[in-house]
């Protein structure tokens, strides 16, 4: 079963695993030692990350080493970018609308007195 990259990053544990492995490759035991959950639970998270193509597992002797393959995160970046462009345009339009419809500044009573005084002189 091929999973979606969005499913992988939806879970905070999987995001933390990715963050750890992105800095340097780790074996499965080293990954599991950083969490207070069972090793089978970590294995399940690793499996999902592998199925999404975010992690590759390489056999080195008796150890299984996890390596990050972060290119798949470009899918997320591209998806987010379309909404960033959309909302930037909407907020710019709102800013322009509000700038056009700004009411004249309200004069304070003190500035009214100064204007009236200068008119009378």
Q: Indicate the pTM of the whole model.
A: 0.68
pLDDT in tens, 24-37: 999 989 999 999 99
Residue 87 lies in a domain: no
Question: With pLDDT > 70 as the criterion, what percentage of the chain qualifies?
Answer: 82
Q: Is residue 48 part of a domain?
A: yes
Residues sharing a CB contact under 8 Å with residue 2, sequence separation 6 or more, in sequence order: 51, 52
For the chain, the domain total comes to 1
Q: Is 60 helix (H, G, I), strand (E, B) or coil?
A: strand
**In terms of residue numbers, what domain contains 43?**
5-70
**Residue 43 within a domain:** yes
CATH, residue 65: 1.10.10.10
d(CA 9, CA 18): 9
> Of the ranges 16-20, 82-86, 99-103, which one carries the lowest mean pLDDT score?
99-103
pLDDT at 20 over 60: yes
Q: Is residue 99 part of a domain?
A: no
Query: Is position 107 within any domain?
Result: no
User: Is residue 101 assigned to a domain?
Assistant: no
Q: Is residue 29 in a domain?
A: yes
Beta carbons of 14 and 47 less than 8 angstroms apart: no
């Amino acid at each position: 079963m091929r999973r979606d990259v969005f499913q992988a990053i939806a879970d905070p544990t999987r995001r933390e695993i990715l963050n750890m492995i992105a800095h340097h490759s780790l074996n499965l035991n080293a990954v599991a030692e950083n969490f207070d959950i069972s090793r089978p639970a970590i294995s399940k998270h690793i499996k999902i990350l592998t199925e999404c193509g975010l992690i590759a597992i390489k056999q080195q002797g008796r150890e299984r080493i996890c390596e990050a393959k972060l290119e798949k995160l470009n899918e997320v970046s591209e998806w987010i970018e379309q909404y960033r462009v959309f909302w930037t345009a909407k907020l710019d339009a709102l800013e322009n609308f509000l700038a056009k419809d700004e009411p004249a500044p309200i004069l304070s009573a003190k500035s009214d007195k100064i204007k009236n005084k200068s008119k009378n002189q």
